Structure 1
Amino acid sequence: MFLDRDLRIRGLNGTYEAISMRRREEMLGEFVFDVFPDNPDDPKASGCSRVAESAESAMRKRGTDAMPIVRYDIADPQNPEIFMPKLWTCSNTAVDDGHDHIGVLHQVAEIVSLDEALSALSRANARGELAGAGEQLHVLAALAARVRADQGHVAALTQEIEQLRRAVESRDVIGQAKGILMERFDINAAAAFALLVRLSQRSNTPVTVIAQKLIEIDHPSA
């Protein structure tokens, strides 16, 4: 993302759109900290001030200022009142047009694993960029939130896979039962399924259970 000297967004690529979860047209021309404000519910939030200091340092030195790790929560685009804990590694590099300094190139990558976070914390500590244990805990709390969210996604995915597995098994069982009925009564697939449904309704038994019983009767050794 390219920021001018007033820290207004003047350019960005698709990768930045993706990780920021914002559309290009929402950001271009805007003051970067209006688009990405600090989390108002986090009294320890310092993302805005740290990024601003880094950008100003890069412009002042006419070089690059790197930030190994910074906690900078961003608002959920679907629910702007909810801020998602995020950890980033980023750098700001001064840009000139050959005659004058015109802004900074702001580059970021999200930190998503414990190994990445600990490595970044080690580099930040070596540079004296973290005030103490409190700030380090604040940083790691964002990673803990990410882990909890990932666990929730994994649980949901596991449940979805199990439902799909059961659906596939049910379809296979019903298919076998239909085949048995088609062969036994010389009827087509639609008629066989209709017969299964009638048996299910009359006995108040799920179709899959009826189908399984037919298979067991037809193949008693199974």
Structure 2
Amino acid sequence: MTDSKFDYEPVFNAMLAPLVVLTPDLVIVAANNSYLKATGRSRTDMLGQPIFTAFPANPEAHNDPNARGVRVLRASLERVVATGKAESLPLQRHDLEVAGEPGLFVERYWSSINTPVLGSVLWIR
């Protein structure tokens, strides 16, 4: 028997994999401690922000064919919402804007597994 009042937040925050939860319109509603560490952000920096506002594309990388992480991730997230099926992405370049230093980016590579939380797609992890 499952207790519907179980507090999942400590479990979510203790997970070693960086996890972020998005609404179907790609707004950040939760991030675990590993995600905060990997991105150098605080929850207040991100919660309620569209993911590509919180983590914009590096304008200096537009000529680099390896820097297509934003386009690839957006397309994957949109497919997950449309199909309700999980998707794995290979390593993609998506530079990270340095927190507190607008316009300053560091080169980063990410792989992700975008998974719908089914019933109807309410969240993406």
TM over 0.5: yes
Matched, 1:12 2:17: no
**Contiguous gaps of at least 5 residues in structure 1:** 106-222
- Measure, in 2, the Cα distance between the counterparts of 1:62 and 1:81: 35
- The structure 1 residue matched to 2:76, chosen from 51, 54, 70, is 54
Backbone CA RMSD of aligned residues: 1.3
Q: 1:53 deviation in Å?
A: 0.6
- Measure, in 1, the Cα distance between the counterparts of 2:54 and 2:103: 13
Q: 1:81 deviation in Å?
A: 2.0
**Contiguous gaps of at least 5 residues in structure 2:** 1-19
Cα-to-partner distance string for 1:83-133 (whole Å, 9 max, x where unaligned): 10011111100113x3x221311xxxxxxxxxxxxxxxxxxxxxxxxxxxx
Q: Could you say which structure has the larger radius of gyration? A: 1
Q: 1:30 deviation in Å?
A: 0.4
Matched, 1:86 2:114: no
Cα-to-partner distance string for 1:52-90 (whole Å, 9 max, x where unaligned): 111112222212110121000001124332110011111
State the TM-score, normalizing by the size of structure 1.
0.44
Where does structure 1 differ by over 4 angstroms across 4 or more consecutive aligned residues?
Answer: none
Q: 1:35 deviation in Å?
A: 0.6
Secondary structure of 1:26's aligned partner: helix
Secondary structure of 1:22's aligned partner: coil
Return the structure number with greater helix share: 1
